[in-house]
Amino acid sequence: MKFYTPEEIKEAKDLYESYIKTHHEDALENATVYVSREFDGDNNVASFYLGIEDATGTDTGSGLDERHEGKAALETYYVSETQNSNSIRKVEKIKVKSLTAAKRHATRNQVYQGTVLTIFSEIDENGYGTREISSKDTGFSNRNEWT
């Protein structure tokens, strides 16, 4: 079983808070993000929960909560959204449980219609993806699915 370090919890909280501010800005009005940790018998963080609470410390019931289980290690992927399949762009680093979760993240965070979403497993020293794992052309092609 994987246990979470304080740095991993902080990074997950920061990513969660950034996502909420970007996509659900009204959810944090008069509210804050909180972390609830669950420990094993040796005082290791086995899982944690991210949610939104109001000024009284009560969960707002926003439905935007995330639970992070300690059963699977988080994997690092790099996501880019480009104008077409021949374009390049610096990538966004994400940590998720699986490639499926990375695809879900990329699709949900797509900014423009008709772009190409690409997931990489490695980047170069300049921040560009070098080893493509999967891509999805959301334009007017026949390839509007992950490959």
Identify the pLDDT of residue 73. Answer: 62
Identify the pLDDT of residue 144. Answer: 67
pLDDT above 80 for 99: yes
Identify the pLDDT of residue 140. Answer: 65
Tell me, yes or no, whether 145 lies in a domain. no
Same domain, 83 and 127: yes
Same domain, 27 and 62: yes
pLDDT above 60 for 72: no
Q: What is the 3-state secondary structure (H, E, C) of 30-98?
A: CEEEEEEEEECCCCCEEEEEEEEEECCCCECCCCCCEEEECCCCCEEEEEEEECCCCCCCECEEEEECC
- The tally of domains found in the chain comes to 2
Collapsing DSSP states into helix, strand and coil, what is residue 12? helix
Cβ-based neighbours of 28, under 8 Å, separated by 6 or more: 17, 20, 21, 52
Identify the pLDDT of residue 1. Answer: 53
Domain of residue 55, residue span: 6-69
Collapsing DSSP states into helix, strand and coil, what is residue 138? coil
User: Given pLDDT bands bounded at 50, 70 and 90, which one contains residue 81?
Assistant: very high
Identify the pLDDT of residue 70. Answer: 62
